[in-house]
Structure 1
Amino acid sequence: MEPGAATEVVRQAQEIEIDQLADLWYQGWQDAHAAILPAELARLRTRESFAERLRAALQAVRVVGPRGGPIGFCMTQADELYQLFVSSDGRGRGVAALLEADAVSILSRRGVEVAWLACAIGNHRAARFYEKAGWRCTGTVVSELETQAGVFPLEVWRFEKALV
């Protein structure tokens, strides 16, 4: 485990943290995706769109960091590790590994046998992290991303992890 990670705890996000989480998600999305994804999608991925999505999925949002100061979050839905983002301050401290392990635990408790996630094609840092955590790229698929303008089809790498 990375230095400092042992003191971190994964916990349920709180409604009062939505603005901070939206900032974290927006900045993380810009860092990881803005240069490799279509400009049309980047225009739709506003801070406000992230806040709306967080509000709608709050019960599925897990965070690391002090109350009122999250440094990373993840979301699961059905059999998918849906989102995982860590702030620049949280990187290199094992935060992503804690969040990934928590998400896998949640999915496993749901009875999921094979979990999956979508990773932006070209996001090599994330792909290396997932591979190191035992995920395997099974190819590319078209993901239908929900946006405020409707569905946005995007080809992504699909990763899978056997949980049983």
Structure 2
Amino acid sequence: MQIRNAQEADIPVIAQLWHLGWHSAHASIVDVDLVRLRAPAEFMTRTAAHLEQTYVAVLGGEIAGFFMIEGNEVYQFYVDPAQHGSGFARRMMKEAEARVPASLAWLACSVGNDRAAAFYAKNGWRNVGEEELQVETSEGPRPVRIWRFEKTL
């Protein structure tokens, strides 16, 4: 696995991974209005807006995952489903953690996203509670209930 800064040419692949991963993990646990807004075009726009904070994980010459670091937050973290169960996500998380510029990192996990919550806990992240987070959309911020996970690095 190689980690590199995302480039403009990567936007379509990142946006597709993000769109598919987001819908797989969130469509059944968040408000239907948010699901409606999470169309492919929105992921293209969001990926472009966050490109400078985005890293891609390349495996066999192909992008197999990505993460975004914003301040001390692992803002987004998605892995190609073909890599699930392979240990790839664990290695990618170590790379993401190494790029957080603070000793205390955090990430948001939508309440009900049990698979992701279990992954974070298995990798040393601690669920410190539930809160409401305003997420960005093309129609302005929307509230989502999240579990806040933290980890001392």
Q: TM-score scaled to structure 2, two decimals?
A: 0.94
Per-residue deviation, residues 31-60 of structure 1 (Å, max 9, x unmatched): 111111111110111111111111111121
For 1:70, which of 63, 74, 98 is the aligned residue?
63
The number of equivalent residue pairs is 153
Moved over 4 A (4+): none
Q: Give aligned-pair identity as a percent.
A: 41
2:42 aligns to what?
49
Per-residue deviation, residues 8-32 of structure 1 (Å, max 9, x unmatched): 1222222111111111111101111
2:54 aligns to what?
61
Per-residue deviation, residues 134-154 of structure 1 (Å, max 9, x unmatched): 000001011110111111011
- Provide the secondary structure at the position in 1 that maps to 2:28: coil
Distance 2:30 2:88 in 1: 25
C-alpha displacement at 1:69, in angstroms? 2.8
Q: TM-score scaled to structure 1, two decimals?
A: 0.88
Distance 1:141 1:99 in 2: 26
Distance 1:95 1:34 in 2: 24
5+ residue gaps, structure 1: 1-7
1:160 aligns to what?
150
Conserved? CA contact 1:63–1:99, under 8 Å? no
